[in-house]
Every structure is written in C-alpha cells, then in structure tokens.
Structure 1
C-alpha cells in the first residue's frame, strides 16, 4: 500500500458499496477508498435482488418513472431531484453495462425488465435473475482493482472527521486496531444505512449508521431520520442475529400472492411497501401466519427466475415450487440520512455524501422499489463530477487522533431499544422512552447517537406518512415538512426529555444508569 503521507490531500471516500466504488471510478483524480471489509463483502449493494429502475422500456418515460417516485414518496420528494436522477436512469444502465455489468436480456436482445410494486411500468433492469447487486459489485470491484489512481484501504473505516475553521481538514481512519490521521479537504461518506441497529433486518452487520454519526459529530444536518422502510417479505426463518434473506419485490411482481394459513389473501400485493408491510404485521399480530405463494406464478420453475432466493429457501428446507414461503417484514432501507444537494454536498464544507447514507430528496417518505441502486450510481457520478471541478484547498497538518472516550453500548441493547420503539408501529410514549434510555450514551457511542436521532425525529413527527406510522397519530398531516436534526439540537431535545420525565426502568431497553 502506498505510504499514508503520499495520500495527503486526496479525496477520501468512506464505503465499499456501489456508491463508494462508483464515486471512485467516475472521478478523474486520485482518491482513497476506505472499506471496513474486503470490497463487496458486507455491502448492502451486493445483496440487492430486484435490480435498477430505469425508464428504458418502449412504453415508458422518465416522466412516468418520476410520477411513480413522487407518489411513493408521500409528499416529501424534491421534484427537481427526482427529475434529475430518474432522467439519468437510461444512461446509468448503459454506463454500468460499459463497466462490465451483464444484464439479463429479453428475446429482442434488450435488457429484460421486471415489474415491481408501485411502478406503473415494467422498468427494473436485472442481472443473474435476482442477483443484480452481486453482478454490479463484481464488475465494479474488478474495475476499481484495475485502476491505479484509486488507493483501496480494506479493513479500514472512517472514525472521525477533523475540522478546521468549520470545514473538513482531515479524517481519522481505524484500521487493524490502529487509528491513523490523514489530511484531506474532501471526504465522501458512502457508508450505507442503519438497518443493523434493528433486530430483524435484511442489512449486513456493518449497516450501523457510522457515517451518519461522523457527519453529525462534525455538525452536519441529518434529515428525515425517522423514515425507515420495512421490506414486507423477508423469509421468516433464519439464524438469530443474521441478516434476513429477502424475497424480492419482483416475486410479487411476477404474480406471487400473500396468503395466511387458511389460504386467504388479505392485502394488495403490489401496493407500496409501507402499506404491504403494515398489512402483514397486522395479520401476524392477530395471530395468523403469513405466506408468499409463488407456485402458480412461476409454474414449477422458481429457481430459473429467482436462483438466489431459491438457494436461500433450500438452506431453510423450503421449496417454493411445492409450498408457500413464510415471510415477515424486516428493516430494509433508510430514507433519511445526511442532507445533501444534488451535487452530494452536505451542510459541512468539504463533506459530501451519496448512496443510502445521503438524504438527496429522491425517496421522500418511502423509497420506490429499485430506485436505490439508481440513486447510488447516478449520485456517485454527480459527486465525482463536482469534486473533479473543484480546486481543493491544500491540506493542513492534522494532530494526533483523539482516543476513544469510553466503552460502547451492546448491539443487543440497541436492538431491544429500537425494535420495541421504532418498528413498523410507533407511538409517542415508546419513542420518548427509547430516546431517554439512549441519552446517557450518545456522547461516546455512535450507534446510540444515531438511534436517538431516529427516535427524536419520529417523536417530533406527529403524523403517519410513508415509512413512519404513529398509532397515536394515524393520519397524514395536510402539509409535508422535512425533519432536520443536528448534534446540538439532539442534545437539547434529549435534555428536555430527561428533565420532563427522568424515570427509566430496565424495560426501556438499555441498562439503567
């Protein structure tokens, strides 16, 4: 590996998923790419099944794709951002193909297109049947490794942003138990979402919001933290603590139906994800089993259409051609994150974000299926273009890394706290209890900080909209308003909560101080 001193001044990209890899590849200047795990390992992008949404069908248009995105987003999408990103969809598919991604083709030689929930057209370009993310990551990892101007630091993660006069002046990097300081005036956070903070999730274990915490501690605005998307159909069976195997939206798009133990259907399978997830949760809470029946849809050939899902089922002793699959909702995607403009710039000079870690304005309150890979690749290009156009300040020397302030909170405690308070069905009392339980730990634990910010944003949103549902405020407000939190605002809100009702019990999810 190149000596650290030789890398001073180069943009640092934190994250080894699609957003991070694409930012590095689409940039012309030398850069440093941090990945806590080997490239493509522990990245949510590699697990993506459905594909990438793009208006490339003969009966489709960017206008139709944009309208579907706006409808799913429940009033919180930015129309200009939606138009820019979905308008770039066809070029994104072409660019990925040029980088070596092999999309599945139809009889006409053009990309085969799946239909997914809340899309008015079949527009999901896919690869390896249901292995789109793995195929995209295979191609991009190979390109990154073959690009000498990209310095890849595997086993390395962003620990802290170093500021000078309010702008990024360097980064602290944790690698192999050692903390290193690297001067730079440009950092891109592409660290993914927060799914691993919840007990039932399809996210890899690394999705714990570390990049969001780094941004918040640097003073960045985090937007719409309360909006968490629960995928309706994760396999109900699986190892405890491991990511849930996902049954792609495309299975329902192909005609699979949701039934209970009596064989009765109880919801519209192609409604938006939040609607389907709540319907399934309500049915489970009422004591029913919920099963996804694909037998008639795939006619004995499930494995050809969905080979990855078929393998996951086989590992659990299930045969989708002969029996329905038991499913339940699981945390799948975080619509909130670091507030950015369309160039990926955050509210902190020198800090960019893209992918799931960013809140661009595309997803609003509820992400439209398969818009995530689209956003990650397109916005990576926007960030790369913006960085290439800048004359970056000469980096200043940075000091010795600051030691850790104390022990962190156990992940099981975070799971218990957020799983109980911030799940599909929320209420003010539960959210307040969870925020108060996390409050003593936010100064020293990044997971507690992100969890507290999520709960506070959800507590403040006294309505139900998209991926956020309050049983005590079940109606949607007439006006759609974004939530915005900074670290300072978070600490003030937590202090107010504790002063109002300081009593805690062990049932609040964390060890009581």
Structure 2
C-alpha cells in the first residue's frame, strides 16, 4: 500500500524507520491486524541489505553445529561478543531461513536441489546460504514486494526521520516512552508527525562518516543519533568494520567485492605478484576481515601504492562466471574481465558494529522504542562482525521485536497531544555551501584520523575538529529550515563524535579498534558505553 493522503499527522500501531532486511522482517512478522507505517529515506530498496553480496549464515548442514558457529563468532569478535546474543542469533538461523523461504526468496541450490552453502572469512564450515553473488538484492526485492502486497502496511518513500517524540521531550510527568517521530517529506518539504505506541529504528549504520565507504548514501547514522538524543545509551561505536576489498577505480563509484571470492580461492597480491597475506596470518585470505583490512592498509602505506590486487584468474573461467555472475558483468562494463584480469581493491568503511543498546527483544532504554539491525547493539558482533552474521541478526531480532510488540499491544492505546512541527522561527537557508563544506571536512577528518589504524593524538585532533563542526551545524540547524542534507549532517556529526569518544575510552587494540599507542589486548573484557545527558536511570536497564 502506498501513502494515502496529504494530512501531516498520521496515527499507526507501529512505525518502522527503514525498509531493509531489519525493518521489513519486523513489518512482515507482525499480525495483519496491526496498522504499520514503513518510512523509507529514499526508494524502498535503497538500503544496505540490497547491496549485501555475501549471504545469510545459518547452521543447516549435519557436519556443522550451533556450537561451531558460536565459537567462530566469538573468535571473530575477539571474545567481546555477549554470549546470550550470539546464542540467540545462531539458534535463530534455521527459523530465519524458513522465514525467508516462506516470503519467496530464491536462494541458489546445489546439484541435489538443496540450499547451496558457501564459506566466508572466519567461518570454519560452509554455512552461508546465498542467491548467486547478489543475495541482498534477492532478499530486498522479495521483502519489498511482500510489504507492498500487505493492506496493513503503508509505505512512505522519501521520508526522512528528523527526531523522536518522547514523553520526556513533551514534559509529561511519566517515565520516558516513545510516542512517534517527526519526518520530512522530501517531495513537498513538509514535516509530518507520525504517532504510535511502538516505534522501531531499522535505518542501518553510519559508515558515510568515512570518505571511502561501500555503503549507500543513506548510511548516515540517523537511528543512532535520534535514539541518543532521545535518551538511549549507545555502545561499542569504536568498532567500525572496513571491508578489505572494495573496487578501486577512479571513474566508478566504489562498491564491495564479495568476501565469497576469497572463500572460493581468490588471492590478494602486491604489484610484484607476491601473495602477501601469508605474512600476516596463517589463514591467509580467509582470515577475519579486520586482519585482512589492516594487512592491505599496511602494504598500501608501506609501498606508497593506491591499491592491491585480488586475483581469481587461476580458477576456470566457467567456475568464476557461474559463482560471480553479477560481479563478472559489472566489472566487464568497466573493462575488467575477472577471468583473466586481477581486480584493483582497497579497504573501505563497511559496517558499524556498535549502536543503540537493546535487549533480546530489540527494546532500547526507552519504552516503546526498538532498534534492529545495524542501528542496534545487541552484543552479537563484539569487536568485529563475522561475514554474513549481520543479515541473520536483522531477521532474528526483527522477529523478536514483532513477538514483543504483539505481546505488549493494547487496542485501547491513545496518543497524548503532540504539537505539530514548528518552523515559524527559522528561515530558508541562504546557501547550502556550508553544509557541503562541513560534510566533506567531517568525512575527511574521520578517514584520516579515525580509520583502520589509530593513535591517541589522531583521535584528539579528530575530536577537536568534530566538536567545532558540531557547534556550527547545531547553530545552522537552529536558524534554518530542515533539509535532507542538513538532517543527515546533524546526525553524522553526532555519530562521528560517538565513534571518537568510544575509541578514546578503549586503551587496547582489539578486533577492529587498532591503536599504535595501545597495541596489546587489555586483560579485562568490557564494552564501551556512552550515556546521554537525558538518560533516565529508572528505565529498565538492557544488555547489562
């Protein structure tokens, strides 16, 4: 169902911000008598899920086990993963696959007409189900189609959430609860109020904070920033995954080259042809992503080169075309035949392992507010996300949120009076160059100072610049009418500050956080938690 009317106040049972795997698995798991709004910041498929090439990790083979998947996840996460979350996610593998098959997702089958399983970095077994080399596209288009068919789901495309509406914000004399949110309709430039007893943030990660990223343009940390401003704690924001292999091509937008290529035997090489990964880890190209990304970064800096090479030319051409049809066609358009040519690759910011703290039901510190997928911190990923665990997390926690919402729904809920968005005190911006300048400066600062290898000095420099930018952006936000670019920049500068503050608190090198000043592991295992100034202690503590 598409957006029905021009009214700017909308009442629903559940509001979901985000139309990727996390948001739509929640929407499709809720009973059909629920009145649901799905807000998509861009088009419905413009979500990180759509671009995921790998697959969904699940224990399906008799040679595999839940225990092995748990162990692999804990090792990849440098033992910072929270066991309850890992167990819940891994045990949710089979139900998640069944949910996706029921929705009609067409996964690749083997000769026996069983789900074909591939292997990726960090996994000790073949356990990744996939749709050729474009799994995300298959999942995304199928779930979008199902959501559009449902009469109880109303879709609002090109709506950008601005801020949450909470009882605390309205000054109501009760414990803090989410009442809905304000969102900008990009087409009309009007701000709408969306009201509901349940709101879910499923709006992806924040890797647009970095100059080079594999993420779509929407990944500006909106959910994390909105939740923190509303009074939710965030955790482990220092752990940002850099995908080791993104295409390096001056004329083309960077996109990731799937991990499955290395899983199927591709080598990483230097310009002289040396296979260098063996110098860094005995697992070579199949080492976890943080090790591979750091090795590539080290060699690029050591040799003063722009990229390294990914080489699968030693495999039969038919094998390559069959396993990687999308990639083969896409690179051929750029003049690279992967059956005979090596691929130029660099690391790029790929995934936010930290996020809004949630419990096993995806519930945040604020009653009625949920966070799912990359927006959330469940405890699953620890210090490094293992390949293809993130799509799985979206479905496991999307379904968990649906159960919790259904159990706590009351038909007699009535929303308190919520004032309409007031922009009477602001003017039209005289020039957008300020936003553009701050956007570029912020992303360059993050890339140069808060990247794959960090130092205390670099982090201090980054924080100094980010605080300055934040002041400018806050003033601009207070004086001028909101626009998509301004909303995103306001969120991104806050999330960048969170990343730096978390990184400064971690006095060790673990997983994705590597600092030259503290190269060793600290003896104690702890998560880094940021507490917002308006955090209410009496809210039920989650994830402790």
Q: Same fold, TM exceeding 0.5?
A: yes
- The answer for the alignment partner of 1:193 in structure 2 is 205
Q: Secondary structure at the match of 1:105?
A: coil
- The answer for the alignment partner of 2:13 in structure 1 is 10
Per-residue displacement from partner, 1:89-119 (whole Å, max 9, x unpaired)?
Answer: 0121122011010010001111001111110
Q: Secondary structure at the match of 2:315?
A: helix
Q: Distance in 2 between matches of 1:64 and 1:277?
A: 24
Structure 1 position 429, deviation (Å): 1.0
Q: Distance in 1 between matches of 2:309 and 2:255?
A: 15
Per-residue displacement from partner, 1:70-107 (whole Å, max 9, x unpaired)?
Answer: 11111211111111111110121122011010010001
Question: Are the aligned partners of 1:170 and 1:395 in contact in 2 as well (CA < 8 Å)?
Answer: no
Per-residue displacement from partner, 1:222-260 (whole Å, max 9, x unpaired)?
Answer: 1101100011111111547x4x22111110010111111
Structure 1 position 182, deviation (Å): 2.3
Question: Are the aligned partners of 2:77 and 2:384 in contact in 1 as well (CA < 8 Å)?
Answer: yes
Q: Distance in 2 between matches of 1:344 and 1:442?
A: 29
- The answer for the alignment partner of 1:388 in structure 2 is 406
2:51 is equivalent to residue 47 of structure 1: yes
2:218 is equivalent to residue 206 of structure 1: yes
- The answer for the alignment partner of 1:358 in structure 2 is 376
Structure 1 position 5, deviation (Å): 7.6
Q: Distance in 2 between matches of 1:155 and 1:489?
A: 30
Q: Distance in 2 between matches of 1:338 and 1:442?
A: 20
Q: Distance in 1 between matches of 2:407 and 2:534?
A: 34
After the TM superposition, which residues 217-228 of structure 1 pair with which residues of structure 2 at under 5 Å, given as runs?
A: 217-228=229-240
Question: Are the aligned partners of 1:227 and 1:336 in contact in 2 as well (CA < 8 Å)?
Answer: yes
Aligned length: 486
- Mean Cα deviation higher: 343-352 or 302-311: 302-311
Q: Secondary structure at the match of 2:463?
A: helix
- The answer for the alignment partner of 2:387 in structure 1 is 369
Q: Distance in 2 between matches of 1:126 and 1:436?
A: 44
Structure 1 position 300, deviation (Å): 5.0
Q: Distance in 1 between matches of 2:138 and 2:213?
A: 22
Question: Are the aligned partners of 1:9 and 1:394 in contact in 2 as well (CA < 8 Å)?
Answer: no
- The answer for the alignment partner of 1:499 in structure 2 is none
- The answer for the alignment partner of 2:196 in structure 1 is 184
Q: Distance in 1 between matches of 2:291 and 2:501?
A: 23
Q: Distance in 2 between matches of 1:297 and 1:279?
A: 24
2:156 is equivalent to residue 153 of structure 1: yes
> What is the RMSD of the two structures over their aligned residues, measured on CA atoms?
1.8
- The answer for the alignment partner of 1:480 in structure 2 is 525
How high is the TM-score relative to the length of structure 1? 0.91
- The answer for the alignment partner of 1:307 in structure 2 is 325
Q: Distance in 2 between matches of 1:251 and 1:190?
A: 29
Q: 1:423 aligns with which of 451, 469, 478?
A: 451
2:218 is equivalent to residue 233 of structure 1: no
Question: Are the aligned partners of 1:160 and 1:172 in contact in 2 as well (CA < 8 Å)?
Answer: yes
Q: 2:299 aligns with which of 283, 291, 295?
A: 283
Per-residue displacement from partner, 1:419-465 (whole Å, max 9, x unpaired)?
Answer: 11111011111111111211134362221111111111111111111
- The answer for the alignment partner of 1:35 in structure 2 is 40
Question: Are the aligned partners of 1:426 and 1:469 in contact in 2 as well (CA < 8 Å)?
Answer: yes
Question: Are the aligned partners of 2:442 and 2:469 in contact in 1 as well (CA < 8 Å)?
Answer: no
Per-residue displacement from partner, 1:43-87 (whole Å, max 9, x unpaired)?
Answer: 110011111000111211111111111111112111111111111
2:420 is equivalent to residue 400 of structure 1: yes
Q: 1:402 to 1:185 in 2, by over 3 A?
A: farther
- The answer for the alignment partner of 2:470 in structure 1 is 442
Per-residue displacement from partner, 1:144-199 (whole Å, max 9, x unpaired)?
Answer: 00001011111112111111142112310111211111222321000000111211
Q: Distance in 2 between matches of 1:201 and 1:309?
A: 18
2:64 is equivalent to residue 60 of structure 1: yes
Question: Are the aligned partners of 1:50 and 1:126 in contact in 2 as well (CA < 8 Å)?
Answer: yes
2:275 is equivalent to residue 265 of structure 1: yes
- The answer for the alignment partner of 1:296 in structure 2 is 314
Q: Distance in 2 between matches of 1:440 and 1:169?
A: 32
- The answer for the alignment partner of 1:337 in structure 2 is 355
After the TM superposition, which residues 30-109 of structure 1 pair with which residues of structure 2 at under 5 Å, given as runs?
A: 30-41=35-46, 43-109=47-113
- The answer for the alignment partner of 1:508 in structure 2 is none
Structure 1 position 286, deviation (Å): 1.2
Q: Distance in 1 between matches of 2:27 and 2:416?
A: 23
- The answer for the alignment partner of 2:144 in structure 1 is 141
Question: Are the aligned partners of 2:182 and 2:193 in contact in 1 as well (CA < 8 Å)?
Answer: yes
Q: 1:182 to 1:421 in 2, by over 3 A?
A: same
Per-residue displacement from partner, 1:12-58 (whole Å, max 9, x unpaired)?
Answer: 100011111111111112211100112112x1100111110001112
Question: Are the aligned partners of 1:105 and 1:111 in contact in 2 as well (CA < 8 Å)?
Answer: yes
Q: Distance in 1 between matches of 2:318 and 2:274?
A: 21
Q: Distance in 2 between matches of 1:76 and 1:402?
A: 44
Structure 1 position 330, deviation (Å): 0.7
Q: Distance in 2 between matches of 1:442 and 1:351?
A: 26
Q: Distance in 1 between matches of 2:376 and 2:397?
A: 10
Q: Secondary structure at the match of 2:61?
A: coil
Q: Secondary structure at the match of 1:363?
A: coil
